[in-house]
């Protein structure tokens, strides 16, 4: 607290501002003038003798640049560079986002539609140009904030703030000599000629424990607040109103229907997309007309293999031997290598998968038609593998394995 | 100290006297800074109570909207854009006067702007704040407003950069930022003057922070003037672009009554028109309450009234041209919309708009009315009513008659709609009233620079 008081230079008791304690090191010599004409004349004369000086006026005076022999401001370069980079950045960014990262056809226009990018490009250009100009001026050109500058809180600056015009010649000038400067200012008609000394340096160590604790508290509050806002608050009413929908979810009770089932069976005769009605369902024997439409080839055998392993192998075993993996939780089916099974037509195997048999349920809703025929073909491969003929061995010897993907 | 002694100069080769009553530069500082040093008086408390109650009403209605949803508002099919967009366009328009005064009049070297620029800029900022609220509370889930910004997100999506609604986000946020920076830059020298003037501890701390250690150095003034020029140069096309982009929200669509190329210039003229009316309305009270009649003179107000009349006639031209194009295009849908505007169920809004915006400002042809405070006050209020009605006419009458008669409907605003509208005025006036008590309402440095004998007599900077 004492530091804060010192920083803003207040008498703790009266609240009155007190001037900062000054060192013995000279900063410069100041003089006040009453009229704009006087100060222009003085600046003109002084700029002939000294380089390190400044004029302080409550508002900018016309002709002062020339009197002080100042070069034109180079601030415009910051504006130019940042403005142009804003243009390029906005165009490139929108071009990338709309053509490469997430291309979408909007209103039948090309992905890179320049006319539609112009408004945002313009706005980004203006934003970057103005912000960079102002921030560049305040920090780079003026070295602000600088509340500890030697001239701040001097009677000199307090007069200038109202209506006086002042000149300050810095001690850092190579030709600076206290007597000469005073005489020159006196000659030019300056009043209130004063010496300004550097203020006492005040240090504010950033590793002070109190400051570190303050930083830690700010960090905890900020991150905790963000966490609570994003992860908790968003799921409280009213922010969660997307969850309050009047809808029935799967397997939930519904009070709308008399049977209270949330899930509804489709109207009788409804045909799902992509499915055809199976005319032999419930019959023990399919008609002789049910013919395998797929010739066995590598592609549908691979499909059949995959589906067989997924749906059939848990009970029928990996090689259709009827060796279930289910540890007697479910009765073992018979082997598919019996004569009976080998003499089934393709249509019969397909019918059993579709319709179920004994305790085997129907797989019609889980396995598509094409996949069922592919499984049928694969079962034929397994059956042939257990009962291979001599000619098959000859063939395999010549061509490598007939089907070498089965482990 | 008599404000009526100053006759208007008829010799236009000479600049009229900008600061009346022979005020010295320390007088100017005294007059402008006095409201900041004194305790709030009864008038101030009454004013802030009224505007604060309006603000509270608005906050209540916005809270209800957040809790129950935008179903509390009157908009529904086919009029999906109701008060939310009407108020947004209205407030954005109010904001335009400030930038026009501070940037365009600066570039045109209209030095009389110094007396009113600070106040108009502040009104710009407050009006854009009010405007920015409406699209956000209209969104249904306003807490997700951040989705409008292009930031890398988990949806791997970007906003549609070809949509006028996204242009709006960029235009309004850029406009607000640049206006705020422009305003702050103008305030820095005044903060320094206040810092050196104040006798209170807290104020000294605050002014020191905001003045950044400004010491009126000419080496700073040189860059400062350059920066001001650059900012004015950018703010001028910016202010034109903002209402142009707002008008694109309508003009880029294919709704009859919206799909027209006259919208950008006509929206900008309308914005300046309503903005100047609002500035006149507020300044008439401020100059009286804070004894600033010598700094914000009747001449200032008269000049603003002239601009009001000019922009009012531009708006009138826009209305006429819309009707002409409806007839000339031969498009039956376009013609139907305009006939239904003038004669349909919302005809009363159309005729309020025409009489307030086109007919009544014609009184300003007479110098007597231009310089009469009660007349300009009445006209400023009516122009604001008329310009709000204009946005209502554009938004509602174009939507309420769809292409198919089966989709026709009416828009009837609810109490919540009106509550939020009143609340936005409450927010605006509360901010204005607080501003008059916390910051110098007139730019001290700029007015000092145009007072008598402020510049060197044989200065070669002219």
Of A21 and A171, the structure prediction assigns the larger pLDDT to A171
Cβ contact B388:B50 at 8 Å? no
Q: Could you tell me which residues are beta bridge partners of residue A261?
A: A253
What is the structure's pLDDT at B459?
A: 45
Above 50 in pLDDT, residue B332? Answer: yes
Distance (Å, whole) CA A200 – CA A25 = 10
Residue B421 has pLDDT above 50, yes or no: yes
pLDDT of residue A343: 86
Quick one: A64 exposed, middle or buried, by C-beta within 10 A (0-12, 13-18, 19+)?
Answer: buried
Q: Would you call B162 and A151 a contact, using CB atoms and an 8 Å cutoff?
A: no
Contact A62 B209 (CB under 8 A): no
Our CA angle for A306, A312, A314, nearest 5°, is: 105
Grouping H, G, I as helix, E, B as strand and the rest as coil, residue B139 is: coil
Distance, in Å, from the CA atom of A96 to the CA atom of A38, rounded to the nearest integer, reads 60
> Considering only residues 113 to 132 of chain A, which have any Cβ-Cβ distance to chain B shorter than 8 Å?
113, 116-117, 119-120, 122-124, 126-127, 129-131
pLDDT computed for residue A401 by the predictor: 58
pLDDT higher than threshold 50 for residue B267: yes
Cα(A360)–Cα(A338) distance, rounded to whole angstroms?
Answer: 18
Q: Verify whether the Cβ–Cβ distance A127 to B448 is below 8 Å.
A: no
Integer-rounded Cα Rg, in Å, for chain B is 23
Give the pLDDT confidence score for residue B23 in this predicted structure.
Answer: 78
Angle at Cα A168 formed by Cα A162 and Cα A173, nearest 5°? 165
Q: Report pLDDT for B8.
A: 44
Dihedral in degrees, nearest 10, Cα atoms B212, B218, B219, B223: 80
CB contact under 8 A, A35 and B462: no
CA dist B167 and B144 (Å) reads 18
B234 touches chain A (CB under 8 A): yes
DSSP B120-134: HHHHHHHHHHHHHHH
Q: What residues have CB less than 8 Å from B136, skipping those under 6 apart?
A: B142, B145
What chain A residue is nearest to B65 in terms of C-alpha separation? A238
Whether residues B456 and A63 touch (CB distance < 8 A) is answered with yes
SS3 A167: strand
pLDDT in tens, B342-358: 999 999 999 999 999 99
Question: How high is the pLDDT of residue A10?
Answer: 54
Q: Which candidate from B161, B238, B248 shows the least CB-CB separation from A97? A: B161
B454 contact residues in A (CB cutoff 8 A): 36, 59
Closest-CA residue to B195 (of A190, A98, A10, A261): A10
Give the pairing of strands A53-56 and A22-33. Answer: unpaired
Average pLDDT along chain B: 89
**Is the pLDDT assigned to residue A325 strictly greater than 80?**
yes
Residues 6+ apart with CB under 8 A from A27: A150, A151, A170, A171, A196, A197, A198
- Tell me the average pLDDT across A78-88: 96
Write out the H or E segment, with its range, that includes residue A32. Answer: strand A22-33
Asked if the Cβ–Cβ distance from A130 to B230 is below 8 Å, we say yes
Q: DSSP characters for B339-389?
A: HHHHHSTTHHHHHHHHIIIIIGGGGGGSHHHHT-HHHHHHHHHHHHHHHHH
CA-to-CA distance for A52 and A175, rounded, in angstroms? 9
Instruction: Determine the distance in angstroms separating the CA of A4 from the nearest CA of chain B, rounded to an integer.
Output: 10
> In the prediction, which pLDDT does A202 show?
67
| B19 at interface of A, judged by CB pairs closer than 8 A | no
Distance from CA of A212 to the nearest CA of B (A): 22
Select the highest-mean-pLDDT range: A227-236, B33-42, B268-277.
B268-277
Report the run of H or E that residue B198 belongs to, with start and end. none
Q: Could you state, in order of their start, the residue ranges of all structural domains in chain B?
A: 41-450
Report d(CA A82, CA A25) in Å as an integer. Answer: 41
Kindly report the nearest CA distance between residue A307 and chain B, in angstroms. 34
Which residues of chain A make contact with B460, given a CB cutoff of 8 A?
62-63, 66
Q: Tell me the per-residue pLDDT of B131-157, one tens digit each, with 9 for 90 and over.
A: 999 999 998 788 888 888 898 888 888
Average pLDDT over residues A82-98: 95
The model's pTM is 0.80
A10 touches chain B (CB under 8 A): yes
**Between vectors from CA B12 to CA B6 and to CA B14, what angle results, nearest 5°?**
70
Distances A88 to A98, A101, A134, B157, B170 between C-alpha atoms, Å? 15, 18, 21, 22, 16
Q: Nearest CA of chain B to the CA of A57: how many Å?
A: 6
Closest C-alpha to A173, from A283, A52, A36:
A52
Contact call for B462 and A62, based on CB within 8 A: yes
Q: What are phi and psi of B76, to 5 degrees?
A: -160, 175
Place of tokens 């980004």: A124
Give the burial class of B351: count Cβ atoms within 10 A of its Cβ; 0-12 exposed, 13-18 middle, 19 or more buried: middle
Closest CA to B83 of B144, B140, B135: B135
Residue B434, exposed/middle/buried by CB under 10 A (0-12, 13-18, 19+)?
A: middle
Which tokens belong to A55? 């004029």
For A241, the token pair is 């109103």
| Chain pair A-B, CB pairs under 8 angstroms | 228
Residue A120 scores a pLDDT above 50:
yes
Q: What is the mean pLDDT of chain A?
A: 85
Give the B window 64-103 contacts with A, CB below 8 Å: 66-69
Residues B162-189 have pLDDT tens digits of 999 999 999 999 999 999 999 999 999 9
Check the CA dihedral B429-B431-B432-B436 and report its sign.
Answer: positive
Task: Work out the minimum CA distance from A81 to partner chain B, whole angstroms.
Answer: 13
- pLDDT of A291 reads 81
Cα distance between residue B89 and residue B249, in whole Å:
10
How close A20 comes to chain B (CA, Å)?
14
Phi, psi angles (nearest 5°) of residue A346: -55, -40
Q: B118-131 pLDDT, tens per residue?
A: 999 999 999 999 99
Instruction: Decide if pLDDT at A96 tops 80.
Output: yes
Q: Which residues of B touch A123 (CB under 8 A)?
A: 167, 170-171, 174, 238, 241
B208/A8 Cα distance (integer angstroms)? 8
- Of the pLDDT bands very low, low, confident and very high (cuts 50, 70, 90), residue A403 is low
Greater confidence (A46 vs B24) lies with A46
Q: Which residue of B has its CA nearest to A61?
A: B455
Asked if B456 and A57 come within 8 Å (Cβ–Cβ), the reply is: no
Label residue B201 by pLDDT band (50, 70, 90): confident
Q: With an 8 Å Cβ cutoff, is A226 touching chain B?
A: no
Q: Which of residues 251-290 of A touch B (CB under 8 A)?
A: none
B157 touches chain A (CB under 8 A): yes
Cβ count within 10 A of residue A67: 23
ipTM of the complex in this document: 0.91
Instruction: With a cut of 60, say whether residue B302 has pLDDT above it.
Output: yes
Alpha-carbon distance of B232 to B226, in angstroms, equals: 10
CA distance A42 to B109: 29
β-partners of residue A174 are none
- Supply the pLDDT for residue A127: 96
| Whether pLDDT at A345 is above 70 | yes
Is B104's pLDDT higher than 70? yes
Mean pLDDT of A117-142: 95
Distance between CA atoms of residues A373 and A362, nearest Å: 15
Residues from chain B contacting residue A141 (CB–CB below 8 Å): 220, 223
Kind and range of the H or E element at B53?
A: helix B42-68
Residue in A142, A226, A232 to test binding to B, most B beta-carbons within 10 Å: A142
Looking up tokens 């009513």 gives: B385
Confidence of residue A14 (pLDDT cuts 50, 70, 90): low
Band of pLDDT at residue B340, cut at 50, 70 and 90: very high
Give the full edge-to-edge strand order of the sheet including A53-56: A53-56, A165-170, A22-33, A191-199
pLDDT at position B230, please?
94
pLDDT at A223: 96
Residue B329 predicted with pLDDT over 50: yes
Which chain B residue has the Cα nearest residue A100? B158
Report the pLDDT value the prediction gives residue B10, as an integer from 0 to 100: 45
Give residue-wise pLDDT tens across range A260-314: 888 888 888 887 777 777 777 777 777 667 888 888 888 889 999 999 999 999 8
A353: closest CA of chain B, how far (Å)? 42
What part of A 355-384 touches B (C-beta under 8 Å)? none
The pLDDT value recorded for residue A244 is 79
C-alpha span between A116 and A99 (Å, rounded): 13
Looking up tokens 């992509």, which residue turns up? A274
Q: What is the pLDDT of residue B41?
A: 86
* Interchain pair B461, A63: CB under 8 A: yes
pLDDT tens figures, A53-79: 999 999 999 889 898 999 999 999 999
CA distance A185 to A43: 10
Degrees (nearest 5) of the Cα angle A142, A144, A146?
120
Residue of A nearest to B252 (CA): A116
- In angstroms, the CA B416 to CA B403 distance is 29
Region label for A278, one of left (φ > 0), alpha (ψ between -120 and 50) or beta (otherwise): beta
Q: What is the C-alpha to C-alpha distance for residues A361 and B110, in angstroms, rounded to an integer? A: 91
Can you give the pLDDT at residue B258? 92
Q: Are strands A22-33 and A165-170 parallel, antiparallel or unpaired?
A: antiparallel
Query: Rounded to an integer, what distance in angstroms lies between the CA atom of residue B339 and that of residue B398?
Result: 11
Q: Looking at beta carbons, which residues of chain B come within 8 Å of A130?
A: 177-178, 181-182, 230-231, 234-235
For tokens 């140069």, what's the residue? Answer: B233
Give B16's DSSP letter.
Answer: P
Contact status of A3 with chain B (Cβ, < 8 Å): no
């Amino acid at each position: 607290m004492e530091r804060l008081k010192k920083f803003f230079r207040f008498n703790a008791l009266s609240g009155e501002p007190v001037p900062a304690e000054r060192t013995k090191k000279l900063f410069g010599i100041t003089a006040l003038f009453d009229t704009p004409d006087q100060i222009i004349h003085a600046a003109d004369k002084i700029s002939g003798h000294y380089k390190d000086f400044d004029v302080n006026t409550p508002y900018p005076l016309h002709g002062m640049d020339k009197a002080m022999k100042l070069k034109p401001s180079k601030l415009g370069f910051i504006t130019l560079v940042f403005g142009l980079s804003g243009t390029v950045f906005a165009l490139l960014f929108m071009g990338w986002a709309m053509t490469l990262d997430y291309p979408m056809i909007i209103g039948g226009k090309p992905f890179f539609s320049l006319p539609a990018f112009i408004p945002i490009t313009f706005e980004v250009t203006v934003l970057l140009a103005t912000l960079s100009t102002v921030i560049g001026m305040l920090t780079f050109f003026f070295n602000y904030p600088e509340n500890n500058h030697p001239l701040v809180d001097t009677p000199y600056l307090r007069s200038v703030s109202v209506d006086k015009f002042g000149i300050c010649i810095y001690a850092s000038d190579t030709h600076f000599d206290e007597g000469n400067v005073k005489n020159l200012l006196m000659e030019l008609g300056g009043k209130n000629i004063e010496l300004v000394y550097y203020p006492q340096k005040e240090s504010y160590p950033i590793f002070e424990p109190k400051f570190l604790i303050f930083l830690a508290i700010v960090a905890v509050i900020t991150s905790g607040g963000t966490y609570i806002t994003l992860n908790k608050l968003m799921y409280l009413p009213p922010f969660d109103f997307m969850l309050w929908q009047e809808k029935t979810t799967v397997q939930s009770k519904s009070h709308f229907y008399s049977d209270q089932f949330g899930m509804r069976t489709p109207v009788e005769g409804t045909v799902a997309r992509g499915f055809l009605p199976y005319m032999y369902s419930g019959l023990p024997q399919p008609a002789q007309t049910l013919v395998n439409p797929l010739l066995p080839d590598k592609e549908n055998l691979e499909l059949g293999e995959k589906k067989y392993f997924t749906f059939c192998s848990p009970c029928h075993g990996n090689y259709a031997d009827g060796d279930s993996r289910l540890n007697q939780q479910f009765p073992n089916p018979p082997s598919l290598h019996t004569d009976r099974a080998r003499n089934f037509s393709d249509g019969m195997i397909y019918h059993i998968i579709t319709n179920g048999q004994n305790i085997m349920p129907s797989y019609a809703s889980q396995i598509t038609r094409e996949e069922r025929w592919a499984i049928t073909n694969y079962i034929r491969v397994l059956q042939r593998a257990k009962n291979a003929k001599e000619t098959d061995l000859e063939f395999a010897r010549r061509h490598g394995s007939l089907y070498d993907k089965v482990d | 100290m008599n404000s009526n002694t100053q006759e208007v100069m008829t010799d236009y080769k000479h600049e009229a006297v900008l600061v009346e009553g022979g005020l010295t530069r320390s007088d100017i500082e005294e007059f402008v800074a006095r409201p900041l040093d004194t305790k709030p008086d009864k008038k101030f408390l009454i004013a802030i109570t009224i505007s604060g109650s309006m603000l509270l009403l608005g906050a209540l209605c916005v809270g209800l909207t957040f809790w129950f949803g935008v179903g509390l508002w009157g908009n529904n099919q086919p009029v999906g854009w109701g008060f939310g967009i009407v108020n947004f366009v209205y407030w954005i328009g109010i904001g335009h006067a400030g930038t026009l005064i501070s940037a365009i009049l600066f570039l045109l070297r209209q030095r009389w702007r110094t007396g009113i620029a600070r106040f108009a800029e502040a009104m710009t900022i407050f009006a854009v704040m009010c405007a920015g609220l409406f699209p956000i509370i209209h969104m249904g889930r306003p807490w997700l407003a951040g989705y409008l910004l292009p930031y890398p997100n988990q949806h791997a999506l970007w906003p549609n950069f070809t949509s006028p609604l996204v242009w709006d986000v960029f235009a309004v946020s850029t406009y607000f930022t640049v206006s705020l920076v422009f305003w702050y830059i103008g305030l820095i020298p005044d903060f320094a003057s206040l810092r050196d003037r104040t006798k209170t501890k807290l104020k000294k701390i605050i002014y020191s922070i905001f003045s950044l250690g400004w010491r009126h150095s000419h080496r700073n003034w040189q860059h400062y003037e350059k920066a001001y020029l650059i900012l004015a140069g950018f703010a001028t096309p910016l202010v034109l672009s903002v209402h142009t982009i707002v008008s694109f929200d309508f003009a880029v669509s294919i709704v009859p009554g919206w799909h027209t190329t006259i919208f950008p210039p006509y929206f900008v003229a309308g914005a300046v028109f309503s903005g100047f009316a609002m500035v006149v309305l507020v300044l008439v009270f401020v100059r009286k309450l804070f004894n600033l009649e010598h700094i914000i003179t009747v001449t200032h107000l008269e000049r603003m009234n002239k601009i009001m009349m000019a922009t009012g006639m531009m708006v009138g031209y826009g209305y006429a041209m819309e009707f002409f194009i409806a007839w000339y295009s031969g498009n039956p849908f376009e013609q139907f919309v305009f006939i239904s505007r003038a004669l349909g169920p919302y005809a009363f809004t159309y005729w309020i708009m025409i009489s307030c915006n086109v007919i009544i400002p014609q009184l300003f042809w007479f110098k007597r009315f231009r310089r009469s405070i009660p007349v300009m006050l009445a006209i400023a209020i009516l122009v604001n009513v008329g310009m709000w009605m204009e946005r209502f006419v554009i938004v509602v009458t174009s939507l309420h008659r769809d292409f198919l008669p089966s989709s026709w409907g009416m828009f009837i605003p609810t109490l919540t709609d009106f509550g939020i509208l009143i609340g936005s005025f409450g927010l605006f006036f509360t901010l204005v009233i607080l501003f008059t008590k916390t910051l110098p309402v007139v730019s001290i440095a700029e007015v000092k620079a145009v007072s008598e004998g402020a510049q060197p007599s044989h200065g070669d900077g002219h």
